[in-house]
Amino acid sequence: MSEDTVFYPGLMVACGPSPFLYGEAPGILPEILSESTEDPDRGRKLGHYSGLPSPRAYPLVDSRRVSLEAHLREEDQGTYPRLGPGGSLPLPCPPLELTVAHGYPGVNLEEG
């Protein structure tokens, strides 16, 4: 991938001394998966973000079924939790708890 490759995340949470500088230190880069975005989000974007030093979490919320998964990086280790209804995920920067329900506002998750 060339150095001038640019991706625009759906949302970016910055971590670092100056969170107001766009793109300075993205800590969390969530994406919403759909039929048209799933391949690039799981492929090129994930590969690119994995090569950057600052991202600590790459949560993926599926628009077609109740599912939250994330690529997490803590120091030199990576984890890949996959969650369904009722699940929650602690995110490192800023420290917060992301629940599956956060990805589906207004949706009754009990009815499937």
**Phi–psi pair at 110, nearest 5 degrees:** -70, -30
For residue 4, is it within any domain?
Answer: no
Q: What is the domain count for the chain? A: 1
pLDDT of residue 96: 86
Query: How do residues 34-70 score in pLDDT, each as one tens digit?
Result: 999 999 999 999 998 888 888 889 999 999 999 999 9
| 85-109 mean pLDDT | 86
> Could you say which DSSP state residue 78 is in?
E
Q: Is the model more confident about 16 or about 59?
A: 59
Looking at residue 8, what is its pLDDT?
A: 79
82, containing H or E segment: strand 82-83
Please give the mean pLDDT across all residues of the chain. Answer: 83
Q: What percent of the chain has pLDDT over 70?
A: 86
CATH number for the domain harbouring residue 52 = 3.90.1570.10
Residue 109, domain member (yes or no): no
**Cβ–Cβ under 8 Å, residues 53 and 81:** no
Residue 3 maps to a domain: no
Domain containing 24 equals 13-103
H-type alpha helices, the chain: 38-40, 46-50
User: d(Cα 25, Cα 32) in Å, to the nearest integer?
Assistant: 21
